[in-house]
Amino acid sequence: MLNAPHNSIFQSTESPREDDRLQHSSPWRIYGVGAAFCLAAMAVLGRVTWLQAQLNDDYLATLETTTTEYEIIPARDGRILTATTVLATDVDRYDLQLNYRWIEEPVNERWLDRKLRNRLTRAERNDEQLVARIRDEIIQSRQRVHQAICDAAGISLEELTLRCTEIQTRVERVAEFVNRRHAGRDDSRDLFKEDEGILMRLASTVRSALTTPPRRGTLSRIVVREEEAFHTVVDDVTLVVAAAVSEHPERFSGARSLVRTVRTYPQRDLAAHVVGARTLLKDDELQPERPSDGRLAGNPVVRRGRFGVELTYEDQISGTHGLRKIVRDRRKRVVSDEVVRPPVSGRDIVLTINTALQQLCEASLRESLADAPLKHLLPAQDQASRQESRPVPVGGSIVVMEAATGRILAAASGPGFDLSLFTGASAAEWDVVNNDRRRPFIPRFTGMALPPGSTFKTLTAIAALESGTITPDSKTFCQGYLTRPSEHRCLIFRLYGASHGQMNVETALSQSCNVFFFDAARRMGMRTLSEWTERLQFGHPTGVDLPFEKSGTVPKAPGAVVQTSTGIQSRFEREAPGLAIGQSRLTVTPLQMARLMAAVANGGWLVTPHIVSNEGIARVASEKPVAAANATRMRVTGLHQHTLDAIRAGLKATVQSPRGTGYRDVRTGDVQIAGKTGTAETAPGKPDHAWFAGYLPADDPQIVIVVVLEHGGSGSHAAGPVAREVSREIARQIL
């Protein structure tokens, strides 16, 4: 029967019985059903194949996706030290952090569910009362942790709540932004075309059903990293508090303490211009190619030296942060945690600065600038009368340096500032310094170039002697002025109508006779004077290992083309008398003047001043090649000992001879000082710049000292007493 060659399709007129219908229709029906099965199976197979082939990358993979994060392990930066004092160092600061789920209000329901599942078995979870009780317990434990943090850190619950609210607002903003962007991308996929026919819409619905990966429900909104992270709720707690949080996880679940290093300057304003500051890297300063920044650039623990030694020795001081690689699964559970690069501490830098001497120099400057009451500078009975007539300098600088090596023992610049400005100061504190018109941030020892006045006669004397223009015994008669009483005058003529009379190089230096040097300059000519200015490297930076050094300015001879113009040539020549006494267009920094005095003191060597000790740098250099401060020195060509002897006699007489300009204000019984005073004229109506540049002891020169007071008035009266006090300290401590 079943195999009978009948087909209901062709025998449709036959009235079918139950049996017959089965018998007659079965072969074709079976084919039909089979075909339907095949189609369905093919659809399923197709779907499975598609899932395997297409979804593998963008969907299946997400089920197994792990995320890799890199976390910085902070490294300590090297310290900046003197032999006795720590000037800059990293210290640990401890912060208390809370996981976001302990911060969020109201409690996150999914997190709560997860907690419940961890605490209760499947059977227990059916007990509604039990679930409600455990729920309350979890919420209360969260509140207990808040209270425990407040008790430990000594802040009020209101304060903590306020901080938590701030954090939540921030995190919610991030989460909202990320989710909105993601939702926007999803919607764009199923744009439905309204104008399509019903068949097309049907077809596309079927295609869509077959090909669209399962959609995330509204519950599975994207969880941003901030929602799983820890956030600082209390910063800078004590080590005891931090330890308590770490050691009692049962009391502080959801909380942790975190250590970070911050740069501090324990001596605050001591040698602030020399030490400099390191501050956090800003976003626009990313330099991924720098090994210390690398992929970590922009992370708040990366710091950069901004000025001073912190900048010059940046590469040595900077520690290299370590790197921790954390892999998490899609539920943010940590799968692996390894240190891929251990942190390497930065190197200590030892300065050549003598702490006590630096302190005295800074105190003297504060007194000179009227930022502190007079204590070191003048004998008590003389204070009132001097103070009245004395102009208050705008700024000042003192340099003390070893003559033979260029080691800087003190480099003071006033007014100063407190380095703690850079470690967290209020806007008001910044305003005070920024609004100080004397510009406290300038490191005046290298960053201030002023006309040197009569201290420059030291160089003029060298040039005149070495060029044969004069001999140590040559005499010039001073009538108070060179040719006309209206110009090229001596100070005593300008002030008192007096003159110096017969002068040789020694007396001309010690009594600071302008006429003697005008005459010498006129005879030797500008070219010789310029040549010696160049030989002693004025107009060039000294190469000190401090940033932002100024080179000063020197009058330059006109070039070959311009030399044909007699007008310009003679104007250049006319500068000779001015240059001879340290005026005209000449400006020099205190450190350049210290180097000139060192050359006189050490027998004719130009030293490279440096602020970082050779030992410290040698130690660094042996391990890692660096452009370290070099202690190299250069012989000044054509400078002879007999010339230096004549100069030294003049500089000694300046302080030691009763007619010397430094006799009254610089001389001390403690040590014989030699040097030159300078009173450099400035703009009309403004007080002169006061200079003293010299060395000690006079007969066995070892230490150079330069004092400059910007618009301080008389070199001997204003700068002299400062030089004397500093010299006495040098004699006590060093000689």
| Residues near Zn ion (CB under 5 A) | 478, 490, 500, 513, 515
Using CB atoms within 10 Å of the CB of residue 383, give its burial: 0 to 12 exposed, 13 to 18 middle, 19+ buried: middle
CA distance 672 to 694: 11
Shortest reach from residue 499's CB to Zn ion, in Å: 6
CA distance 568 to 558: 7
Quick check: 296 and 321 in contact, CB under 8 A? Answer: yes
Q: Which is nearer to Zn ion, 406 or 662 (CB)?
A: 662
Shortest reach from residue 407's CB to Zn ion, in Å: 37
Shortest reach from residue 463's CB to Zn ion, in Å: 19
Shortest reach from residue 486's CB to Zn ion, in Å: 16
CA distance 269 to 449: 23
Shortest reach from residue 500's CB to Zn ion, in Å: 3
Q: Which is nearer to Zn ion, 508 or 708 (CB)?
A: 508
Shortest reach from residue 457's CB to Zn ion, in Å: 11
Q: Which is nearer to Zn ion, 281 or 505 (CB)?
A: 505
Q: Which is nearer to Zn ion, 479 or 569 (CB)?
A: 479
Packing angle of the helix pair 457-466, 641-656 (nearest 10 deg): 150
Q: Which is nearer to Zn ion, 542 or 677 (CB)?
A: 677
Shortest reach from residue 478's CB to Zn ion, in Å: 3
**Closest to 529 in 3D by CA, of 556, 560, 496:** 556
Q: For the chain, what's the residue count?
A: 735
Quick check: 342 and 323 in contact, CB under 8 A? Answer: no
Q: Which is nearer to Zn ion, 263 or 500 (CB)?
A: 500
Shortest reach from residue 472's CB to Zn ion, in Å: 18
Residues in CB range of 626: below 8 A, 6 or more apart: 315, 316, 617, 620
Shortest reach from residue 515's CB to Zn ion, in Å: 4
Q: Which is nearer to Zn ion, 513 or 639 (CB)?
A: 513
CA distance 366 to 372: 5
Handedness of CA 194, 199, 201, 204 (dihedral sign): negative
Q: Which is nearer to Zn ion, 264 or 514 (CB)?
A: 514
For residue 566, what are the CA distances in angstroms to 83, 560, 572, 578?
58, 12, 10, 20
Q: Which is nearer to Zn ion, 488 or 652 (CB)?
A: 488
Instruction: Say which residue the tokens 């690689």 belong to.
Output: 325
Using CB atoms within 10 Å of the CB of residue 121, give its burial: 0 to 12 exposed, 13 to 18 middle, 19+ buried: exposed
106: preceding bond cis by omega (within 30 degrees) = yes
Residues in CB range of 88: below 8 A, 6 or more apart: 79, 80, 263, 264, 265, 275, 278, 310, 419
